[in-house]
């Protein structure tokens, strides 16, 4: 599978996760989000930037759901509920958000 973005083919694994983290940019994120039926808002971008920052600047760390919710409080000023996060990323923030953020597929089983 591959995404076609700005005339360039971006390779993915069988589940649609980028094979190369550095292939990601905002246009790629928009393409992946469209494939996931998500229209990106400012809050989505906050989460995507957070996930990429954690991965790139924290030794490949991919935070779990609880950590994401806790850290988004610092960004948004109030702690989002699990429902708030589900409305942004119905396929789980750590997994679907990570996919849209161009991160490798997480093998972690889940949420908290």
pLDDT of 29 above 60:
yes
CA nearest neighbour of 111 among 97, 28, 78: 97
**What average pLDDT does range 47-66 have in this prediction?**
95
Under 8 Å between Cβ of 68 and 47: yes
Under 8 Å between Cβ of 32 and 10: no
| C-beta atoms surrounding 82 within 10 Å | 13
Which ranges of 24-76 would DSSP assign to H, the alpha helix?
Answer: 26-35, 42-57, 65-76
In a domain, 27, yes or no: yes
pLDDT value of position 101: 98
CATH code of 13's domain: 1.10.10.370
The count of structural domains within the chain is 1
In a domain, 72, yes or no: yes
**What average pLDDT does range 63-70 have in this prediction?**
94
**What average pLDDT does range 64-91 have in this prediction?**
95
In a domain, 88, yes or no: yes
In a domain, 110, yes or no: no
Give the separation between CA 23 and CA 80, rounded to whole angstroms: 30
Domain around 69: 2-100
In a domain, 106, yes or no: no
In a domain, 85, yes or no: yes
Tell me the pTM: 0.92
In a domain, 112, yes or no: no
pLDDT digit string, tens, across residues 7-18: 999 999 999 999
**What average pLDDT does range 8-36 have in this prediction?**
96
- Report CA-CA distances (Å) from 83 to 33, 59, 62, 72: 19, 29, 20, 14
pLDDT digit string, tens, across residues 79-102: 999 999 999 999 999 999 999 999
In a domain, 42, yes or no: yes
């Amino acid at each position: 599978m591959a995404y076609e973005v700005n005339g360039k083919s971006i390779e993915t694994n069988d589940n649609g996760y980028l094979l190369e983290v550095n292939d990601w940019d905002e246009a790629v994120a928009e393409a992946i989000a469209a494939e996931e039926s998500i229209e990106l808002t400012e809050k989505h971008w906050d989460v995507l930037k957070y996930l990429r920052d954690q991965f790139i600047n924290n030794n490949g760390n991919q935070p779990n759901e609880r950590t994401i919710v806790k850290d988004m409080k610092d960004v948004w000023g109030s702690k989002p509920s699990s429902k708030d996060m589900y409305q942004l990323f119905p396929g789980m923030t750590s997994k679907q958000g990570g996919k849209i953020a161009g991160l490798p597929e997480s093998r972690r089983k889940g949420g908290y």
